[in-house]
Amino acid sequence: MRPFEYVRASDAASGIAAVGTTGDAKFLAGGTNLLDLMKEDVERPTRLVDIGGLPLRQIRRTRAGLSLGALATNTETANHPLVREHYPLLTQAIVSGASGQLRNMATNGGNLLQRTRCNYFYDTAMPCNKRAPGSGCGAREGLNKIHAILGWSEGCVATYPGDMANALYALDASVRVRAPDGQERIIPVADFHRLPGDTPERETQLAHGELITSIELPIASAEFARNCHYLKVRDRASYAFAMVSVAAALDMSGGIIRQARVVIGSVAHKPWRSAEAEALLTGKRADVVTFERAADIALRDARPLAHNAYKVELGRRSIVRALMRAARLA
Partner 1 sequence: MTPIPDPHSDLSIELNADEAALLDELPQLQGVGQSRRDFMVASAVGGLGLFASNLLAKEAALAGMPLAADAAVATIKAQNVVQVALTINGSPQTLELDSRVVLLDALRERLGLTGSKKGCDQGQCGACTVIVNGERRLACLTLVASLEGGEVTTIEGLADGDRLHPMQAAFIKHDGFQCGYCTPGQICSAVGMLEEARRGDVSHVTGDVARPVHRLTDDEIRERMSGNICRCGAYPGIVAAVQEVHSGRQTAQTWQFATQAQLAAVRKEDDHAAV
User: What whole-number distance in Å separates Cα of residue 246 and Cα of residue 231?
Assistant: 5
User: What whole-number distance in Å separates Cα of residue 139 and Cα of residue 315?
Assistant: 21
Task: Collapse the DSSP code of 84 into the 3-class scheme (helix H, G, I; strand E, B; otherwise coil) and give the result.
Answer: helix
Q: Does 310 bind partner 1 (CB under 8 A)?
A: no
Give me the least distance between CB of 256 and partner 1, in Å please: 24
Our CA angle for 194, 172, 276, nearest 5°, is: 75
Buried b (16+ CB within 10 A) or exposed e, 204-237: bebeebbbbbbbbbeeebbbbeebbbbbbbeeee
Residue 192-211 contact track with partner 1, rule CB under 8 A, x = bound: --------------------
Q: Does 155 bind partner 1 (CB under 8 A)?
A: no
User: What whole-number distance in Å separates Cα of residue 208 and Cα of residue 26?
Assistant: 9
Q: Which range binds partner 1 by CB under 8 A, 87-95, 166-174, 214-222, 254-262?
A: 87-95
Q: Are 270 and 191 in contact (CB under 8 A)?
A: no
Size, binding site for partner 1 by CB under 8 A? 37
Considering only 12, 17, 22, 52, the residue that binds partner 1 (CB under 8 A) is: 52
Q: Are 54 and 11 in contact (CB under 8 A)?
A: yes
Tell me whether residue 89 or residue 319 sits nearer to partner 1 (CB atom): 89
Give the CA-trace dihedral at 299, 304, 309, 314, to 10 degrees. Answer: -30
User: What whole-number distance in Å separates Cα of residue 298 and Cα of residue 222?
Assistant: 24
Q: Which of residues 236-275 bind partner 1 (CB under 8 A)?
A: 237-239
Considering only 19, 25, 48, 246, the residue that binds partner 1 (CB under 8 A) is: 48
Those residues whose C-beta lies under 8 Å from the C-beta of residue 236, and which sit 6 or more positions away, are none
Q: Does 124 bind partner 1 (CB under 8 A)?
A: no
Tell me whether residue 32 or residue 108 sits nearer to partner 1 (CB atom): 32
User: What whole-number distance in Å separates Cα of residue 73 and Cα of residue 228?
Assistant: 23
Antiparallel, parallel or unpaired: β 256-265 and 242-253: antiparallel
Enumerate the H helices of 106-214 as residue ranges: 108-112, 119-122, 164-170, 189-192
Q: Which range binds partner 1 by CB under 8 A, 48-56, 177-185, 216-224, 305-313?
A: 48-56
Tell me whether residue 102 or residue 179 sits nearer to partner 1 (CB atom): 102
Considering only 67, 104, 205, 259, the residue that binds partner 1 (CB under 8 A) is: 104
Q: Does 75 bind partner 1 (CB under 8 A)?
A: yes
User: What whole-number distance in Å separates Cα of residue 124 and Cα of residue 323?
Assistant: 40
Q: Which range binds partner 1 by CB under 8 A, 3-11, 248-256, 279-287, 301-309?
A: 3-11
Tell me whether residue 21 or residue 135 sits nearer to partner 1 (CB atom): 21
Those residues whose C-beta lies under 8 Å from the C-beta of residue 36, and which sit 6 or more positions away, are none
User: What whole-number distance in Å separates Cα of residue 323 and Cα of residue 143?
Assistant: 31
Give me the least distance between CB of 266 and partner 1, in Å please: 16
Considering only 14, 21, 99, 135, the residue that binds partner 1 (CB under 8 A) is: 99
Give me the least distance between CB of 35 and partner 1, in Å please: 5
Tell me whether residue 100 or residue 182 sits nearer to partner 1 (CB atom): 100
Q: Does 123 bind partner 1 (CB under 8 A)?
A: no
Tell me whether residue 110 or residue 315 sits nearer to partner 1 (CB atom): 110
Give me the least distance between CB of 10 and partner 1, in Å please: 12
Give the interface with partner 1 as residue ranges (CB under 8 A).
Answer: 1, 3-6, 8, 28, 31-32, 35-36, 39-40, 48, 50, 52, 75, 78-79, 84-85, 88, 91-92, 95-96, 98-102, 104-105, 225, 237-239
